[in-house]
Amino acid sequence: MKIKYSLLLALALLIGVPTTAAEQKQKPQTEQEQVIQKFIGWDKKLNTLDTVYTQETSFEGTLISKSVGHLYKSGTNLRLDTLEDGQLTQYALTDKKIINIFDNKDNLIMQMDWESWRDNQQNKSLFDFNNYANILKKHEVKNFEITDENYILTLIPKDEDDGYILTFLLDRKNCFPKEINLTNEGVLSKTVLQDIKINTAIPKEILNEKRNDTGK
């Protein structure tokens, strides 16, 4: 009986171990996991970005402010134009070390440390292209939805001291964000991206990279 029991035990152990490569493969990714990987994938390959954006800030449904801007990105260099009725009112240039802010006549009106300036912005994720993999590591998925044209990815920070909610509206064609929303203590900052151009040439005079260090 002991011999038979040992044989049965050995057979059971053998049956429980995958014997083929197919059996050893990982489980197929869910659609949510596939979307996140595509999201990270294009972000790593993003060299330049040219997009118009609209930002709205509201408190418990009441609109507080609205602005229109134009974002140019090439590597770590950014240009942020502020527009009113389609006309340039001021612009900022940064290499993500120092940010220089100019009026529409190219006069320097302010210079700040980049991180200090960024920390005062309501919706920081607009400036985090090429850093979304790190953002996703610091957040967990609260909700994931699929609509006819978009994926809706809602994140909350893993750090319990931060109580905000970050939501990306991703285009189902390429998982690029069309809208970035941040909600914190009743305040909603909504950023909508339009006329998005990815990895196209941006003229050097637009970014004017020399100005980032000199302010001249």
| 100 domain residue, yes or no | yes
Question: End-to-end distance of the chain based on CA atoms, in angstroms?
Answer: 92
pLDDT value of residue 61: 87
Residue 197's DSSP bridge partners are 50
Average pLDDT of 75-98? 94
Report whether pLDDT(75) > 80.
yes
CA distance 130 to 118: 16
| 21 domain residue, yes or no | no
- Cα–Cα distances in Å, from 99 out to 5, 116, 145, 191? 75, 10, 37, 21
pLDDT value of residue 208: 74
Tens-place pLDDT, residues 28-39: 789 999 999 999
Report whether pLDDT(83) > 90.
yes
Q: Which of 5-14, 47-56, 164-173 has the lowest mean pLDDT?
A: 5-14
| 83 domain residue, yes or no | yes
Q: Which of 124, 127, 125 is nearest to 94 (CA)?
A: 127
| 145 domain residue, yes or no | yes
Average pLDDT of 159-166? 84
Q: Which of 100-109, 159-168, 182-191 has the lowest mean pLDDT?
A: 159-168
pLDDT value of residue 9: 39
Expressed as residue numbers, the domain containing 93 is 28-214
Average pLDDT of 117-134? 89
Average pLDDT of 126-131? 90
Judge contact between 126 and 54, C-beta under 8 A: no
| 39 domain residue, yes or no | yes
| 15 domain residue, yes or no | no
Tens-place pLDDT, residues 56-72: 999 988 999 999 999 99
Helix (H), strand (E) at residue 146: strand 139-146
Q: pTM higher than 0.75 for the full model? A: yes
Residue 166's DSSP bridge partners are 155, 182
User: What band does 15 get if pLDDT is binned at 50, 70 and 90?
Assistant: very low
CATH value at residue 75: 2.50.20.10
pLDDT value of residue 22: 52
Structural domains of the chain, count? 1
**Chain mean pLDDT for the chain:** 85
Tens-place pLDDT, residues 166-213: 999 999 999 999 999 999 999 999 999 999 999 999 988 898 744 444
| 95 domain residue, yes or no | yes
Write out the DSSP string of 95-145: -SSEEEEEETTS-EEEEEEHHHHHHT-S-GGGG-TT-HHHHHHTEEEEEEE
Give the CA radius of gyration of the chain: 24
Report whether pLDDT(5) > 50.
no
